[in-house]
Amino acid sequence: MNSHIVRNLLVRGMLAGLGAGVLALIVAYLLGEPRVDAAIAFEDSHSHEHGEELVSRTLQSTAGLATGILVYGIALGGIAALAYCFALGRTGRFGPRAAALLLSGAALASVYLVPFLKYPANPPSVGDPDTIGKRTTLYFLMMLLSVLLAVAAVVAGKQLAPRLGNWNATIVAGLGYAVLIGIGYVLLPAINEVPEDFSATLLWQFRVAALAIQLTLWLSFGLLFGHLAERLLLPKPARTAEPAATAAPAAR
């Protein structure tokens, strides 16, 4: 793949990331922010210490939220586009659009879902400030382990395919990934710092909202980027050649 195509895919990836970020921002504002407000209200009602507010809550929930999600979406799009350039042609007979959606789904699972199941997101007022460094380290360690094992599973699956066939090799590699992730879940320490009187319903709703934001971001990116990548890699005559060829016999 030449540098011109890589550069164009990178630009399209960042644009798709921006578009996905806008959709994720809507979900975050509608689903996430009300739960954050409720968690902050719980914290205020149980704390007698009120420090100086450096950034207003209004600014955090509007411009701050938009900046964070949109910048994250653009960065995600650029990194995913580079990974797509490497993976394209190595994912079997998948076309550009299917390959983009496959890559996005795999990244969602390995980068977010697997770490989320071990260390789910918590709203404000949940967690000891003194352990934030430890919690952050454990979360990123789980993420790194998941990504490395996912890459190893893909490599193992390709090596096993000539002997076992694509289907069986995929199952074996997937089971190996799941077993090793399970071992990681057991070995890494659990963290439970939820206050006893914190609303279980609010905690559940916050985590569902966090999951919905990530699902929206990654899956919409896969769909948007797949469309843009297909238009670049398969020009219109190539995309319409097959339908035209199938319509010709019917016309006779």
Q: What pLDDT is recorded for position 48? A: 53
Residue 79: inside a domain: yes
Domain boundary among 174, 193, 212: 193
Verify that 162 and 109 share a domain, yes or no.
Answer: no
Verify that 175 and 95 share a domain, yes or no.
Answer: no
Q: What pLDDT is recorded for position 215? A: 95
| pTM recorded for the entire structure | 0.82
Tell me how crowded residue 247 is: count the other CB atoms within 10 A of its CB.
Answer: 9
Distance CA 239, CA 244 (A): 10
Verify that 202 and 80 share a domain, yes or no.
Answer: yes
Verify that 114 and 63 share a domain, yes or no.
Answer: yes
Which residues, in sequence order, are CB contacts of 224 under 8 Å at separation 6+? Answer: 15, 16, 19, 20
Q: Is the dihedral of CA 148, 151, 156, 157 positive or negative?
A: positive
Element (H, E) at 187: helix 166-187
Distance CA 88, CA 94 (A): 9
Residue 17: inside a domain: yes
In the block, tokens 């916050």 appear at 206
Verify that 204 and 183 share a domain, yes or no.
Answer: no
Q: What pLDDT is recorded for position 252? A: 45
Distance CA 13, CA 223 (A): 11
Verify that 73 and 88 share a domain, yes or no.
Answer: yes
Residue 188: inside a domain: yes
Q: What pLDDT is recorded for position 79? A: 92
Say how many CA atoms lie within 13 Å of 36 toward its Cβ.
Answer: 15
Average pLDDT across each block of 10 residues of the chain; the chain has 252 residues. List them in order. Answer: 83 94 94 88 67 68 88 93 81 79 91 93 78 89 94 89 86 94 93 83 92 95 92 68 51 46
Residue 30: inside a domain: yes
Verify that 122 and 215 share a domain, yes or no.
Answer: yes
Q: What pLDDT is recorded for position 129? A: 76
Residue 22: inside a domain: yes
Verify that 14 and 88 share a domain, yes or no.
Answer: yes
Residue 51: inside a domain: no
Residue 252: inside a domain: no
Verify that 117 and 154 share a domain, yes or no.
Answer: no
Domain boundary among 153, 171, 193: 193
Verify that 76 and 173 share a domain, yes or no.
Answer: no
Token duo for residue 70: 């949109």
Domain boundary among 169, 193, 217: 193
Verify that 159 and 111 share a domain, yes or no.
Answer: no
Verify that 10 and 75 share a domain, yes or no.
Answer: yes
Q: What pLDDT is recorded for position 99? A: 87
- For every residue of 39-81, DSSP letters joined together read HHHHHHHT-------SS-HHHIIIIIHHHHHHHHHHHHHHHHH
Query: What total of structural domains would you count in the chain?
Result: 2
Q: What pLDDT is recorded for position 40? A: 83
Which residues, in sequence order, are CB contacts of 106 under 8 Å at separation 6+? Answer: 150
Residue 54: inside a domain: no
Residues in the chain: 252
Domain ranges, residue 148: 129-193
Distance CA 96, CA 239 (A): 11
